[in-house]
A and B are shown apart, each in its own frame.
Chain A
Amino acid sequence: MAKIGKTLLKLDNVTMKFGGVTALNGVNLEVKEGEILALIGPNGAGKTTVFNVITGVYKQTSGIVNFDGISLGNQKRYQVTALGVARTFQNIRLWGDMTALENVITATDVHKKSGLVGALFGLPRARREEAENRERAMEILRFIGIDEYSDRLAKNLPYGVQRRLEIARALGTSPKLVLLDEPAAGFNPAEKVELAATIKKVRDAGYTVLLIEHDMSLIMGISDRVVVLDFGTKIADDIPSVVQNDPRVIEAYLGVPADAS
């Protein structure tokens, strides 16, 4: 088990409004280094909105998002990624016409310096970085366990592999924090068990994980802490066993048994 360290990401009283609709209402959230934090809640609770605010897709209406001592408020999306936040998408958004390996290599480019001129004239640094990227990307594919698919086009990969490739691509950016948006969606129980192991492995390799998931057994099995959102408001934030028995959480999920997915 990795040690849980200082606060890595902090959402301070974040509110997000779309026209008249309040998607997030004064949410406070802390993610600590080395933990797996699960973000749960009924549909429309604002979970993906949290991801979108962190990664700069939306600009929050009010409140502060602080990552590793830096306010993300004025950062562009690609800068947020460069600072060390990477994400996956609920609806898979790989680059379908690229191979699995190229998908990851493209992500590894974020920390590289060489640009157009280097590429054009094959300058030594560009060549070196290309080789490094390729090696690093291959390493990540092996780490996630999908290296045998490295030369396949992403769009032709089996569904489960695509989901894993999303994680691999996020790791390609060498993030400190990985945001996983329903990584187990559409998985059967066996695949879920395997995925849980992968997520743990990712954390044990030194990444911090913030995870949106619906599958309670998966969450209870791997997360260090669970945050529950309901109608854009945080209603619980504790270790899994406590959250599981919180009456407000049960109420929010009323009619949905805790072990259903």
Chain B
Amino acid sequence: MFSVLIDQFWSLTIAGVALGFIYVLVSLGYTMVYGVLRMINFANSEIFMWGTFGTIVTSRDIFGYTQTSAPATGGKLALVLISQLLMSMAVAGVTAIFVEYVAYRRLRAKGTNRLATLISAIGISIVLSELMRLLTDSRPVGSPRVLEKIILTEVWGANIRLDTVVTIFAAALIYFLLERFVKLSRMGKAIRAVSMNEDAAKLMGVNLNRVITTTFLVGGLATGAAGFFYITVFEYTKFNIGFTMGMAAFTAAVLGGIGNIRGAFFGGLFLGLLEVYASAVLGTQWKAVTVFIVLVLVLLFKPNGLFGEAVQTTRA
């Protein structure tokens, strides 16, 4: 049972880090929104799923790649990949703003209870996934291979493949840029101000609606980028892939301390590795079960996460 883990330790680790970075980006979608609204964005999983379709549509319908065409090289490769990434981010970003507008904004203005908002968010997430199911006729959609999966080198018996390397470095870069944005930009500061104290931020002249929309947008962009990397690695998508991804990324966010951006980073990587190792030992069909057990354990024993500081405030 464990021999698989030992034999393939390094290749599993590399796969785990790549998967981990995808989780990092999706969990940013959860964590950013949670930070300002103190509410889970239930539709984030579907925002991700729409992003994956954006990626495939770009290579397949805009650049005309098919399952049989030769992978791109050189400048063309860079152009296609960057277009795919941007398209995925754009689709996801627009979807995220749509979600905020349709499912959250009106209820927030009315000041209804949390239950209503939760139900509304779940509703929109069902609408997004069902819409895609009807559009794709419930069928999985394969991605033409744009980036050839060349083995670059071998380290400790593990193949280092080009797509993994691209994923890890590009995802890390995007994470870094987003973190800088939240830390340094004016809008980022407003977002942090709202997540610390909404009333005070409002008194200081922060436009709450704009901050919330931006937060959804930024979270959507991160999630969309994850959609691109997901396609690069797994080369396939379906209307229902959001669920498993959402569960895992949310778990990652909670692991890192939800609402905490750096927490999402550690949580995502930790979960990516854990999932890959657990699949090697227990079999891939128990992957989701492992993730769920981790989630329940963390919520029970470390509700503020393993890495982050406390975000929840005690209610009196």
State the A residues within 8 Å of B (CB): 48, 52, 57-58
What is the CA–CA distance of A58 and B316 in the complex, to the nearest angstrom? Answer: 8
Q: What are 6 A-to-B residue pairs whose CB atoms are below 8 Å?
A: A48-B316, A52-B316, A57-B314, A57-B316, A58-B314, A58-B316
- Chain B 302-316 against A: per-residue CB contact (8 Å), 1 yes, 0 no? 000000000000101
Which chain A residue shows the least CB distance to B313? Answer: A18
State the B residues within 8 Å of A (CB): 314, 316
What is the CA–CA distance of A57 and B316 in the complex, to the nearest angstrom? Answer: 6
Which chain A residue shows the least CB distance to B310? Answer: A19
Contacts of A57 in B (CB 8 A): 314, 316
What is the CA–CA distance of A117 and B314 in the complex, to the nearest angstrom? Answer: 34
- Tally of A-B Cβ pairs under 8 angstroms: 6
Which chain A residue shows the least CB distance to B315? Answer: A57
Contacts of B314 in A (CB 8 A): 57-58
How far, in Å, is B191 (CB) from chain A's closest CB? 22
Contacts of A48 in B (CB 8 A): 316
What is the CA–CA distance of A99 and B316 in the complex, to the nearest angstrom? Answer: 23
Contacts of A58 in B (CB 8 A): 314, 316
Which chain B residue shows the least CB distance to A58? Answer: B314
Which chain B residue shows the least CB distance to A57? Answer: B316
How far, in Å, is A56 (CB) from chain B's closest CB? 11
Contacts of A52 in B (CB 8 A): 316
Which chain B residue shows the least CB distance to A89? Answer: B316
Contacts of B316 in A (CB 8 A): 48, 52, 57-58
How far, in Å, is B308 (CB) from chain A's closest CB? 14
What is the CA–CA distance of A78 and B68 in the complex, to the nearest angstrom? Answer: 68
What is the CA–CA distance of A57 and B314 in the complex, to the nearest angstrom? Answer: 9
Which chain B residue shows the least CB distance to A93? Answer: B316
The 4 closest A-B pairs by CB, nearest first: A57-B316, A52-B316, A58-B314, A57-B314
Which chain A residue shows the least CB distance to B314? Answer: A58
How far, in Å, is A60 (CB) from chain B's closest CB? 13
How far, in Å, is A209 (CB) from chain B's closest CB? 21
How far, in Å, is A155 (CB) from chain B's closest CB? 13
What is the CA–CA distance of A48 and B314 in the complex, to the nearest angstrom? Answer: 14
What is the CA–CA distance of A205 and B314 in the complex, to the nearest angstrom? Answer: 35
What is the CA–CA distance of A137 and B314 in the complex, to the nearest angstrom? Answer: 32
What is the CA–CA distance of A95 and B316 in the complex, to the nearest angstrom? Answer: 15
How far, in Å, is A20 (CB) from chain B's closest CB? 12
Which chain B residue shows the least CB distance to A49? Answer: B316
What is the CA–CA distance of A52 and B315 in the complex, to the nearest angstrom? Answer: 10
What is the CA–CA distance of A57 and B315 in the complex, to the nearest angstrom? Answer: 8
Which chain A residue shows the least CB distance to B309? Answer: A19
How far, in Å, is A45 (CB) from chain B's closest CB? 16
How far, in Å, is B257 (CB) from chain A's closest CB? 15
What is the CA–CA distance of A52 and B314 in the complex, to the nearest angstrom? Answer: 11
How far, in Å, is B146 (CB) from chain A's closest CB? 50
Which chain B residue shows the least CB distance to A55? Answer: B316
What is the CA–CA distance of A58 and B314 in the complex, to the nearest angstrom? Answer: 8
How far, in Å, is A73 (CB) from chain B's closest CB? 17
How far, in Å, is B164 (CB) from chain A's closest CB? 41
Which chain B residue shows the least CB distance to A59? Answer: B314
How far, in Å, is A79 (CB) from chain B's closest CB? 18
How far, in Å, is B316 (CB) from chain A's closest CB? 5
How far, in Å, is A51 (CB) from chain B's closest CB? 9
How far, in Å, is B91 (CB) from chain A's closest CB? 41
How far, in Å, is A96 (CB) from chain B's closest CB? 11
What is the CA–CA distance of A134 and B314 in the complex, to the nearest angstrom? Answer: 34
What is the CA–CA distance of A48 and B316 in the complex, to the nearest angstrom? Answer: 10
How far, in Å, is B7 (CB) from chain A's closest CB? 48
